[in-house]
A = this chain, B = another copy of it.
Amino acid sequence: MAFEFRVKDWRSFVPILDMVQDYRRADFNHDLIAGLIVGVITVPQAIAYAFLAGLPPEAGLYASLVPMVIYAVLGSSRQMVVGPVAVAALMVAAAIGKHATEWGHNYLAISTLLCFQAGIVLWLLRLSNMGGVVNLMSHPVIVGFVNAAALLIIISQIGPLTGIPGDNKLDPLALLVQLAESVGGINTITLVIGLACGIGMWAVQRYITMLLRLVGLRLADDHPVTRLGPLLVTIAAGLVVWAGQLNESAGVAVIGPVPGGLPAFTVPPLEWDLWVKLLPTSTMIALVAYVESYSIGTTLATRERTRINSHQELIALGAANVGAAFTGAYPVAGSFSRSSVNFQSGARTQMSSLVCMVVILLTLLFFTPLFTLLPQTALAAIVIVSVFGLMDFKSVRDHWKVHRDDSVTQLVTLVTVLVFGVETGLITGVALSIAFFVRRVSRPHVAIVGRVGNSEAFRAARRYEVETFAHVAAIRIDESLFFANTNQIENKLLKIVQRRPGTRHVVLVCSAINMVDVSGLEMLYRINDNFARMGITLHLAEVKAPVMDQLEADDFVEALSGTIYFSTDQAMRDLAVQN
């Protein structure tokens, strides 16, 4: 029995086993097609993001090899595609920019250590059961951060796109100034190729289904074929450069020789000093990777009425990053664009990721010589077009009126990420979210309620036509009783009874009180005593079970001068006749 349990236990950590059991021939046909499509989409993206991270192009392909397979085996999402993503690449680029000089320009050492640490951080989050900490990154913080990241990425790609030499290790503003000063150094041919690539991708996404309709092929507007732009423009740009030998004749910067073959086994450096310096960045990479992957996984899973396992995701994503560390890659996460394509292409299981991996493998083994003349400006165009889709400035405007705090948080996160970097920006955003939340719940809504008509419903007397009694104040407190609001609530209650001199009974309607901490409890005792001294009896109504348990354990139930009523209805019927 014990052995069986352990086997079962062990299997639950390898979700792919579930898939293998029920796998059918028909599934494979779907997975094959989806895998091939995702594979050909991945190649140019992977190279472009490696380029963005400041790493050699093969590092991007390596990130789509072992890490992708590890996630396919361990991950709880059947359709999520893990690999290189733009935001993580930006964070790697920032870390390289900061520490490379000190570490003898060993970029690979920095990127593999970032992977390794990010993997460890994710595992530690699982072990300590602290994965929930990522929930602190509120929606506005993430949107603000992603917008800032997109802007930073675009700024970093202006140089490669235009051919102006720019030092990507500068901070964004200084880089912009440098680019503006050297605006005369634009390489026109480079810029034309880059813009053509950009327009090409846009045109493919927008018009390819129309075009195919002309030749009789009817496809949905969001068919995966619309995502083939990057592949097509890469091929076209490579051919143009090759045909005109533009790298020599016009000085168009190209990728140069890309080493083929499998990744070598790499060991992340163990220098303590570098460990300490990179840990903040890798922690943030881990958190951001987890947040994004979790959100993608949930979205895909709910479409099939399933859920993903947040614990298993930490393990799988951690393992994928550790795998990246030992194969000379850089940090990986769930890719939103490739996962959507995978899903839309009909992928049914993790098998499509394995097919995709084979495509990458074949590329590494046979096709790397083809990339030599690929112009950097095409990659820059791919990066810029792909991050355009990440930006969302509409929500600030939409939410400005009703959710001012959230809009401010989003703007502050955006600005601090731009000015002080990702780590400081994210921490500031989270701290601000918490501060706004605490401020909001520390100013609770406290309302006198009365009976609506002849019903058992009670609503705020200020908003509705309700029945009240002069000698009974039924007061609903719209917040849990906790340290930051007890003084406020106490004050409001005292104010209410001062203004209603005939009050003999106060009924606290507790339907919105979800917990009471020690400060809240002390406040209840004080109010109970003070009311008693004023000749007012304190009653409670609609106390929730968890709060009731607390009040009983704290002996407040005995101290209370009045009664605890099941419902406001009962309390009011009972007290209406007392005087």
Contact = CB atoms under 8 A, between A and B. Distances in A.
Contacts of A463: 545
A269 interface: no
Interface in A128-146: 132, 135-141
A440 B402 contact: no
Interface in A512-567: 512, 514-515, 517-519, 521-522, 526, 530, 533-534, 544-546, 549-550, 553-554, 566-567
A58 interface: no
Contacts of A132: 442-443, 487-488
A491 interface: yes
Contacts of A478: 514, 544, 546
Nearest to A445: B546
Contacts of A437: 438, 482-484, 517
Interface stretch (A114-122, A301-309, A344-352): A301-309
Contact of A307 (B401, B456, B491): B491
A403 interface: yes
A494 B456 contact: no
A63 B154 CA distance: 62
Given A139-B519, A434-B434, A550 B402 contact: yes
Contacts of A299: 526
A483 B517 contact: no
A31 interface: no
A296 to B, nearest CB: 13
A498 B305 contact: yes
Interface residues on A, range: 35 or more
Interface string A480-502: 10111111101100110010000
Interface string A386-400: 000000000100110
A135 B533 contact: no
B399 A518 contact: yes
A444 interface: yes
A306 to B, nearest CB: 8
A569 interface: yes
B305 A534 contact: yes
Contacts of A480: 441
A460 interface: yes
Contacts of A545: 460, 463
A402 B554 contact: yes
Interface in A21-59: none
A560 B307 CA distance: 22
Contact of A455 (B305, B433, B443, B456): B456
Nearest to A477: B514
A544 B398 CA distance: 22
A178 B514 CA distance: 51
B533 A303 contact: yes
A511 B512 contact: yes
Contacts of A135: 442, 483-488
A479 B437 CA distance: 13
Nearest to A443: B132
A103 to B, nearest CB: 34
The CB with the most chain B CB atoms within 10 A, among A138, A488, A549, is that of A138
A355 B179 CA distance: 75
Interface string A320-352: 000000000000000000000000000000000
A267 interface: no
A454 to B, nearest CB: 11
Contacts of A566: 457
A405 B456 contact: no
A518 B310 CA distance: 22
Contact of A519 (B140, B445, B526): B140
Nearest to A435: B434
Nearest to A530: B302
A112 to B, nearest CB: 31
Contacts of A438: 136, 434, 437
Contacts of A139: 483, 486, 517-519, 522
Contacts of A445: 514, 544, 546
A477 to B, nearest CB: 10
A444 B303 CA distance: 25
Contacts of A544: 445, 478, 512
A498 B304 CA distance: 11
Contacts of A484: 135-136, 138, 437
29 contacts: A132-B487, A132-B488, A135-B442, A135-B484, A135-B485, A135-B486, A135-B488, A136-B484, A137-B483, A138-B519, A139-B518, A298-B487, A302-B526, A302-B530, A302-B533, A307-B491, A310-B491, A398-B554, A399-B554, A401-B553, A402-B549, A402-B550, A403-B517, A441-B480, A441-B515, A455-B567, A457-B569, A478-B514, A512-B514
